[in-house]
Amino acid sequence: MTRVWLPSSLEELWPLWAENPGAALYAGGTDLLVRRRAGLVRPEALICLERVAELGRIEPDGPEVFLGAAASFSRLLSSPLVTEKYPVLAAALQRIGSPQVRHMGTLGGNLVTASPAGDSLPPLYTLDAVVELVAVGATRRVPIAEFIQGPGQVDLRPGELVSGVRLPATDGNLQHFEKVGSRAALAISIASLAVAGRLSDQGEVLQIKLAWGSVGPTVVCAPAAEAALQGKKLTPETLAAAGELAQQAASPIDDLRASREYRLALVKNLLLRLAP
Amino acid sequence: MLQNHSMKTPEIFQARYGARAARVGSSLPRADALAKVTGREPYACDFYHPDMLWLGVKRAGVPHARLRGIDVAAARELSGVAAVLTHDDVQGSNRQGVVRKDQPVLVDDKVRHAGDAVALVLAMDPASLARALELIRLDLDPLPGVFDLDQALAPGAPLVHGDNPQGNLMLAGQVTIGQGLDALDDCAVVVQEVFRLPRQEHAYLETEAGWALWDPDGGLTITASTQTPFRDMAEVAEALGLERDQVRIKAPYPGGAFGGKDGVSVQSLLGLAALAAPGVPVKIWLDRQESFIASPKRHPARLAYRLGAGQDGTLQALHAVLHYDTGPYDHLGGVVATLGLEHSGGAYVIPHVHLETYAVYTNNPVGGAFRGFGVPQVNAAMEGMMERLAGRLGMDPAKLRQKNILRPGSLTPVGVTLDCSVGLADCLEQAAGHRLWTRRRPWKAAAGPHQRRGVGLALALHGMGYGPVVPDVANAKIELSDQGRLVVYCGVVDMGQGNASTYLQVAGHLLNQDLAHLELVLPDTARTLPSGSSSASRTTFTYGRALLAAAGELKVRLLKRAADMLMVPVEEMTLVPGAVRHLTSGRELSLKDLAGFMAGEERVAVHSFRAPVSPQRPSDDPGLTLHGLPHRIFSFGAQLCGVEVDRLTGRVRVLSLVTFCDVGNVINRQVLEQQVQGGAAQGLGYALWERMRSREGRIIENDLSTYIIPTAGDLPDMELVVVPGFEPEGPFGMKGAGELPTDLPAAAVAAAVADACGAAPNRFPITPQVVLELLHQGAARNLA
């Protein structure tokens, strides 16, 4: 039997965690419980974060928006703060798993698992999300690209947990997400692309951020591709040129879902969707 | 606790539909539907008992090895373990199989695939079971294996069965008609292609499961998720060294089977374990991963085709070479390869053919029965050839087919005269006149940015029943119960296709009863009569005919007895729901009262029916005849498929799927639609997503997160057009419809994708990566 703790506040959590240092923390469990069932991890005890009030908040904070690490994808999708301000994130969350998985899964889980196939991650990169970390008596903020260091590797210190992400205000008029999976739903990304930026009235790129999922060990950004699009209109030609630069930044692998070549083709082709 | 598998119609269903007359032709909801969707139907896996022991299997884990020893000492000593069993504990032949008995219950000499069962553990609880299985040490001497067709057939290849006279060739068969191969030389046009079809997993909801009880005085009772209770009884008895009358098999509704439970899965293991624990129920329930490893699959196939025709499109000659990877055991691989051979020329008249089929032993996962039974493979190939021929000749694909299709009295590609109802021309005419076909050009032109659309057409036929040698027999039994209900003793499993419910409809129709007065007894070798396997699109046809006769006999008896009791002429009596009524006086005798006046045996009628067989012998090879060549009665179909292909990702979306079928007269349209939709969904999975690859005999896609079956989000709305038909041999004119829908989609999708891309696929499933290549080839062809 494994003990499962269900604290309802950080105040309750800290002493529990101190008494059970071998416990695994989780919220929805959509990653951890699968790994546990497969025998890949055998935590001594489990601390479930889904009832910790501070981690479930979805609220504006000045010009920013705070999204709690343990708020489920479904809850995020039901919040206008997400759907109206950050459609690129909403589109990605909508493509995660199935309704059942979205009822359980959380941003905190996607961040800490740090899989390149975590569908919420590419949008968070394009939105310049900042990860907020809490420990007893301390809070730290780290840009997402620095927080995620490699597959499964994150800048999380002992005694720290992810409390949420902060999204800066955006005045962008271009937000786009596309995921290629093995089927319409319940599929892990073969590749994905998130785009956030601003176009002029004439359609020229004033600012653009691009992030690809599942084509490298972490989310792949391609500053060279972004720079190549700066000031240009999004045409098949400019996008193809940027796509080729992005292919150089990507380092996809062969796995049982798809080949490296196919993923590389997608890095470029998914950009072409932006051509009007 | 010990379940009684006599099914009473659930109360809610009763309240809603009980008064509805069970008439043939009525779209009556299935009698089993409500209990299933509300979770009340007791499946084999639902059994629990406080004293029950859990049974688990130690599997080989390696694809080919000599077994030197099994160290079970540590496992036996573990607390919570009741028994550990090996081949030493098997008293019988320790061999099972449908045609060849080449599969051990527990490995005694050699491991032939990674899923082979080597030892069993019986434990008090699942945790002890898991620990004990880990403690068993197998002493295995690895052998080089054979993992693909060429490797297996190469001279000097390691042998899967050292005693097989043909090496790794399990079955080889040829049919030559007319001038055979020579005729290809005289054809104005010859197209050729090699097709590769994947291994497909049934992925039924309920994995292999069951429970057993050994009562030293009463015998062995096994309740299992199976399609073949009577054959299981014989196989289990022989393998375990029991008399047949010591083994009783009960078969509740399986939670899906599709051919995957045609044959013994866990039954012998359950029997062996139960013998070691007298008086205690033992239960097994495979998890998904173990089910994937252990269960038979649709055979992967390599199919080499050459098709020749005249300049006007008249088919002249076909050379087809079929290779099926049957894994390490026959299972039903020889029969599958033979049905593939019979259907390899598709639904066309071809005067000259040379057809070859080979079932090949390998150390890969076991190939076995799967809805379609060798036909989805060859139909994808033959229809692909028709698409290529149409392209080469610049002919409309529907017109090319019209010129060549089978009609009543035609000779099939194996030279057999069609002696059944043939509605293929109607199917094709309806398809060619459907708006998806006639309006396909504007529909394709309306594709959005980055999208290409295509429409494909495919035809198929599917033979019903077992062929000429193996008797396709059903024994129906119907009884007037002392409660005044008519009880149908269903000896053939309903694995979801709806045949059991259809039997009630057939009996109700004939005896003029509503559902409230009908009852079903599910297959049980001690209560129902042998009626063959639930397979080969035969269940409603063969058992239906037997039931018609049995119900007819009982009807006459009931009317006579009632007439005698009322002292009136029998011609003035009629059956009404729950009673017999005297027509002129209006007097009634309730069925319950009538039953009270009849002796037990008098209230029962039985009838045996053997399905008609073809006397024709297209081959003098007795092996092919034994394995089922040829069939007598065929169902026919056509399918239209509209797809949208994304040029950036290669993703294929099936937007429309219309199936046209000639399945004779329809007994229940709703049940038929369910069959067609389910079969089409499996066929679409086969066309676009499903593949279970193996590397060195080990499955790569080993769970449902990597083995991709379509969900509702991937499937189109489906339309069904039934052409009018009547098969004189069938009950109420029906023909089997279970497999035909699975034969069509791979062919129809491939044609649609080819239409969209400008190049045709020869490899399945048609993955997005393949589609990008096809788009590339199509574009290059356009430039050239």
Tell me the two tokens of residue B131.
């620990």
Q: Which of the four pLDDT bands, split at 50, 70 and 90, describes residue B342?
A: very high
What's the complex ipTM?
A: 0.96
Q: How do strand B95-96 and strand B103-104 relate by DSSP bridges?
A: antiparallel
User: Residue B333 and residue A77: Cα distance in Å, rounded?
Assistant: 50
Q: Is residue B579 part of a domain?
A: yes
Say whether both B556 and B628 belong to one domain. Answer: no
Segment B398-421 shows an average pLDDT of 98
Nearest-CA distance from A262 to chain B in Å? 6
CB neighbour list of residue A212: distance below 8 Å, 6 or more residues apart: A122, A191, A192, A193, A194, A219, A220, A221, A222, A246, A250, A267, A270
Rounded CA-CA distance B1/B478 in Å is: 27
Q: Which residues between 709 and 738 in chain B have a beta carbon less than 8 angstroms from any beta carbon of chain A?
A: 710-711, 713-714
Most A CBs within 10 Å: which of B290, B649, B703, as the mutation test of the A interface? B649
Please provide the distance, in angstroms rounded to a whole number, between the alpha carbons at the two ends of chain B. Answer: 73
Residues of B in contact with A265 (CB under 8 A): 772
**Per the CATH hierarchy, to which homologous superfamily does domain A174-272 belong?**
CO dehydrogenase flavoprotein, C-terminal domain (3.30.390.50)
Interface probe for A, chosen from B690, B769, B770 (most Cβ of A below 10 Å), is: B769
Q: Which is nearest to B571 in space by CA: B512, B508, B562? A: B562
What average pLDDT does range B703-717 have in this prediction?
Answer: 96
Kindly report, residue by residue over B26-81, the tens digit of the pLDDT. Answer: 999 999 999 999 999 999 999 999 999 999 999 999 999 999 999 999 999 999 99
Could you tell me which residue, A93 or B4, shows the higher pLDDT? A93
Q: Say yes or no: B768 and B681 in one domain.
A: yes
Q: No. of H helices and E strands in chain B?
A: 22, 31
Q: How many CB pairs under 8 A join A and B?
A: 44
Tell whether A139 is within 8 A of chain B (Cβ): no
Residues B80 and B215 in one domain: yes
Whether residue B25 is found in the same domain as residue B86: no
End residue of a domain, out of B558, B580, B610: B610
Distance CA(B323)–CA(B196), nearest Å, equals 10
| B437/B576 same-domain check | no
| Interface membership of B2 toward A (CB under 8 Å) | no
CB count, 10 Å around CB of A158?
Answer: 6
- Helices B745-757 + B669-688 axis angle, to 10: 50
User: Taking CB atoms and an 8 Å limit, are A256 and B706 in contact across chains?
Assistant: yes
Residue B193 in domain = no
Residues in chain B with CB shorter than 8 Å from the CB of A187 are 708
Contact B115, B106 (CB under 8 A): no
CB contact under 8 A, B689 and A265: no
Task: Report how far residue B55's alpha carbon sits from residue B53's, in angstroms, rounded to the nearest whole number.
Answer: 6
Task: Report the share of chain B in percent with pLDDT over 90.
Answer: 96
Whether residues B239 and B110 share a domain: the answer is: yes
Q: Which of B178, B258, B254, B200 is nearest to B223 (CA)?
A: B254
Alpha carbon distances (Å) from A237 to A240, A269, A276, B103, B680: 5, 12, 12, 61, 41
Taking a C-beta distance cutoff of 8 angstroms, is the pair B488, B511 a contact?
no
Q: Are residues B235 and B376 in the same domain?
A: no
Q: What percent of chain B has pLDDT over 70?
A: 98
Last residue of a domain, one of B255, B285, B315: B285
Residue of chain B with shortest Cα separation from A182 = B708
pLDDT of residue B9: 53
| Closest by Cβ to B450, choosing from A188, A257, A273 | A273
Q: Tell whether B700 is covered by a domain.
A: yes
In this structure, is residue B83 part of a structural domain?
yes
Among candidate residues B322, B272, B314, B263, the one with its CA nearest the CA of residue B85: B272
Distance CA B15, CA B667 (A): 23
* Chain A residues closer than 8 Å to B769 by CB: 258-259, 261-262
How far is the C-alpha of B666 from the C-alpha of B780, rounded, in Å? 48
Q: Which of A31, A7, A4 is nearest to A104 (CA)?
A: A31
Cis (ω within 30 of 0) for the bond into B281?
A: no
Owner of token pair 């057993």: B212
Using alpha carbons, list the distances in angstroms from residue A263 to A150, B80, B603, B609.
19, 50, 69, 58
Nearest CB among B648, B689, B772 relative to A273 is that of B648
**CA A242 to CA A268: how far, in whole Å?**
8
Whether residue B172 is contained in a domain is answered as no
Q: Cα(B724)–Cα(B78) distance, rounded to whole angstroms?
A: 65
Q: What integer pLDDT is reported at residue B20 of this predicted model?
A: 75
Write the CATH number for B567.
Answer: 3.30.365.10
Give the span between the Cα atoms of B158 and B144, in whole angstroms. 6
pLDDT recorded at residue B784: 74
Q: How far apart are CA B329 and CA B39, in angstroms?
A: 36
How close is the nearest chain B Cα to the Cα of A94, in Å?
13
Nearest to B106 by CA among B126, B130, B89: B89
Residue pLDDT, tens place only, B561-599: 999 999 999 999 999 999 999 999 999 999 999 999 999
A residues 170..199 contacting B (CB < 8 A): 180, 182-188
The DSSP line for B674-727 is: HHHHHHHHHHHHHHHT----EETTEESS-STTTS----GGG---EEEEEPP---
> Which of B649, B713, B769 has its CB closest to that of A184?
B713
Residue B186 lies in a domain: no
The domain ranges of chain A are 3-167, 174-272
- Domain extent for B496: 6-42+473-610
Confidence band, pLDDT 50/70/90 cuts, at residue B2: very low
pLDDT, tens only, B174-183: 999 999 999 9
The tokens 């290849």 sit on which residue? B157
Collapsing DSSP to helix, strand or coil, B669 comes out as: helix
Q: Per-residue pLDDT tens for A212-226?
A: 999 999 999 999 999
Cα–Cα distance for residue pair B744/B347, rounded to 1 Å = 12
How many other β-carbons are positioned within 10 Å of the β-carbon of residue B289?
Answer: 14
| Cβ <8 Å between A266 and B708 | no
The dihedral formed by the CA atoms of B665, B671, B673 and B678, expressed in degrees to the nearest 10: -130
Q: How far apart are CA A69 and CA B350, in angstroms?
A: 67
Instruction: Tell me what the mean pLDDT of segment A58-86 comes to.
Output: 97
**E strands, B216-272, where?**
219-224, 247-250
Q: Return the pLDDT at B4.
A: 44
pLDDT for B21: 75
The residue of A179, A182, A193, A268 whose CB has the most chain B CBs within 10 angstroms, and thus the best one to mutate to test that interface, is A182
Helix segments in chain A, DSSP class H: 10-19, 32-37, 73-77, 80-83, 87-94, 99-104, 107-113, 121-126, 144-147, 223-229, 236-249, 260-272
- Write down the pLDDT at residue B11: 61
DSSP string, A63-102: TEEEEETTSBHHHHHT-HHHHTT-HHHHHHHHTSS-HHHH
**Range scoring the smallest mean pLDDT among A153-162, A201-210, B19-28:** B19-28
In chain A, residues with a C-beta closer than 8 Å to the C-beta of B648 are: 266, 269-270, 272-273
Which of A98, A187, A258 is nearest residue B769 as measured by Cβ atoms? A258
Closest residue in chain B to residue A178, using alpha carbons only: B649
Query: Do residues A7 and A16 make contact, with C-beta atoms less than 8 angstroms apart?
Result: yes
Q: Name residues whose C-beta falls within 8 Å of residue B449's C-beta, 6 or more positions apart in sequence.
A: none
* 8 Å CB contact of A180 and B769: no
Whether residues B713 and A265 touch (CB distance < 8 A) is answered with no
Closest CA to B118 of B232, B227, B272: B272
Chain segment B206-215, per-residue pLDDT in tens: 999 999 999 9
Backbone angles phi, psi at B18, to 5 degrees: -55, -35
Backbone conformation region of residue B217, classed left if phi is above 0, alpha if psi is from -120 to 50, else beta? alpha
In a domain, B171, yes or no: no
Chain A contact for B651 (CB, 8 A cutoff): yes
Confirm or reject contact between A249 and chain B (CB < 8 A): no
B700 touches A at CB < 8 Å: yes
Q: Tell the burial category of A75 from Cβ atoms under 10 Å away from its Cβ (0-12, 13-18, 19+).
A: middle
Q: What is the mean pLDDT of residues A117-145?
A: 98
Q: Are residues B704 and B773 in the same domain?
A: yes
Rounded-to-integer distance, Cα B220 and Cα B214, Å? 4
pLDDT band at B7 (very low <50, low <70, confident <90, very high): very low
Place of tokens 């007319």: B178
Q: Does B73 map to a domain?
A: yes
CA distance B264 to B97: 8
**DSSP letter (8 states) at residue B541:** I
Which residues from chain A sit within 8 angstroms of residue B701, using beta carbons? 256
Mean pLDDT, chain A, rounded, equals: 97
Q: What is the DSSP string of A102-130?
A: HHH-BHHHHHHHT-TT-TTHHHHHHTT-E
High-pLDDT (> 70) share of chain A, %: 100
What Å distances lie between residue B91 and B99, B112, B265, B272, B441, CA to CA? 21, 22, 19, 9, 68
Determine the Cα–Cα distance for residues B591 and A269; give it in Å rounded to an integer: 72
Quick one: pLDDT at residue A1? 80
CB of A265 within 8 Å of a chain B CB? The answer is yes
- Distance between CA atoms of A243 and B318, rounded to whole angstroms? 47
| Residue located via tokens 């409809």 | B505
Residue B446: left (phi > 0), alpha (psi -120 to 50), or beta? alpha
Residue B119 maps to which CATH number? 3.90.1170.50
Tell me if B689 and A262 make a contact (CB, 8 A cut-off).
no
Residue B729 pLDDT: 97
Q: Are residues B699 and B583 part of one domain? A: no
Alpha-carbon Rg for chain B in angstroms: 27
Give contacts of B649 with chain A, Cβ < 8 Å: 180, 266, 269-270
Q: Which of B205, B294, B334, B292 is nearest to B257 (CA)?
A: B205
Whether residue B772 and residue A188 make contact (CB cut-off 8 A), yes or no, is no
The type of residue at B558 is L
Q: Which residues of B fall within a CB distance of 8 Å from A101?
A: none
Q: Is A273 on the interface with B (CB under 8 A)?
A: yes
Closest chain A C-alpha to B784 CA, distance in angstroms: 24
Mean pLDDT of A246-257: 96
Residues B667 and B763 in one domain: yes
CA distance B102 to A261: 43
| Number of separate helices (H) and strands (E) present in chain A | 12, 14
Query: CA–CA distance from B491 to each of B250, B436, B443, B469 (Å)?
Result: 10, 43, 49, 21
Chain B residue closest in CA terms to A275: B449
Tell me the CATH number of domain A3-167, given options 3.30.460.10, 3.30.465.10, 3.40.50.150, 3.20.20.10. Answer: 3.30.465.10
Rounded CA-CA distance B533/B542 in Å is: 11
Please tell me whether residues B96 and B237 are part of one structural domain: yes
Distance CA B504, CA B492 (A): 13
Residue numbers in B near A262 (CB within 8 A): 650, 768-769, 772
Using the Cβ of A1 and the Cβ atoms of chain B, whether some distance falls under 8 Å is answered with no
pLDDT at residue B86, rounded to an integer: 98
Q: How many domains is chain B partitioned into structurally?
A: 3
Indicate if B534 and B667 belong to the same structural domain.
Answer: no
pLDDT at A276: 81
What tokens appear for B582 in the block? Answer: 């005297």
**pLDDT per position as a tens digit, B394-403:** 999 999 999 9
Provide, as residue numbers in chain B, all residues whose Cβ is less than 8 Å from the Cβ of A185: 711, 713
B127 lies within 8 A of chain A by CB? no
